[in-house]
Amino acid sequence: MSKVLKGSAPTDSEVILGILNNSEVVLERLYVAYFPMVLQLIINNNGSTDDAKDIYQEAIIVLYNKIKSGDFELSSKLKTFIYSVCRRLWLKRLNQMSRFDGDIKDFQDHLPVEDEVEKQTDRDLQFTKMEGALALLGEPCKTIIEDFYMHDRSMQEICERFGYTNADNAKTQKYKCLQRLKKLFFQHNQEERKI
């Protein structure tokens, strides 16, 4: 069924409802519908198809989080919103690479979306730090933390998986692992600040 609908863009309210209900089909239709628009923007402004993928996914995540957080008001078309976020992100990227020559070729109307993009950038920074801290954590801590805090597995399951003789030992291990992770994360934070 999703194949049949692929070609047509979902309506804006369909998208909002779909994302709120974690609909895989709606997400796919949304993604497929607006990717060409963003690809056009990026490849005609000194970007590659990979750049287009990165930028577009980031924009979809901005939209996704905005809808999930419930503060999305349908004040403009989703299409315009996505285009504006991508445009803003791409300008930022071009500036970072010093490839921006002060002239961007536009294909759509766009809105000011600086706040959304800034928020997203801050969050991305936090995630990058978390990724780094987890990578430094080592096994079995990494799996224990991921199982318990990220995949919502119970202590019982974790006990069995790692062969701890009692749940208390497992709990102690988990506690130690979390303290280590926090230390790594905040240390990382401080290092970042110094730079």
Indicate which single residue of 67, 161, 185, 188 sits in contact with another protein (rule: CB under 8 A).
185
User: In whole angstroms, how close is the CB of 23 to another protein at the nearest point?
Assistant: 11
Asked whether the beta carbons of 80 and 111 are under 8 A apart, the reply is: yes
CA nearest 116: which of 74, 79, 61?
61
Site for another protein in 69-98 (CB under 8 A): none
Q: Is 1 in the site for another protein (CB under 8 A)?
A: no
Site for another protein contains 189 (CB under 8 A): no
- Give residue for tokens 């995630």: 127
End-to-end Cα, the chain, rounded Å: 52
Whichever of 2 and 11 has its CB closer to another protein, that residue is 2
- CA–CA separation, 179 and 137 (whole Å): 11
Closer CB to another protein, residue 95 or residue 128? 128
In the complex, minimum distance from the CB of residue 30 to another protein, in angstroms, rounded to a whole number = 9
Q: Which single residue is written with the structure tokens 């209900």?
A: 21
**Contact of 110 with 82, CB cutoff 8 Å:** no
Find the binding residues for another protein in span 152-171 (CB under 8 A): 171
**Would you say 95 or 172 has its CB closer to another protein?**
172
What single-letter amino acid sits at 104? Answer: I
Residue 164: how many other CB atoms lie within 10 Å: 18
Q: Which residues contact 71 (CB under 8 A, 6 or more apart)?
A: none
126 binds another protein (CB under 8 A): yes
Instruction: Closer to another protein by CB, 75 or 193: give it.
Output: 193
Which amino acid is it at 130? M
Footprint of another protein on this chain (CB under 8 A)?
24, 27-28, 31-32, 35-36, 39-40, 43-44, 49, 52-53, 57, 60-61, 64, 105, 123, 126-127, 130-131, 145-146, 149-151, 171-172, 175, 178, 182, 185
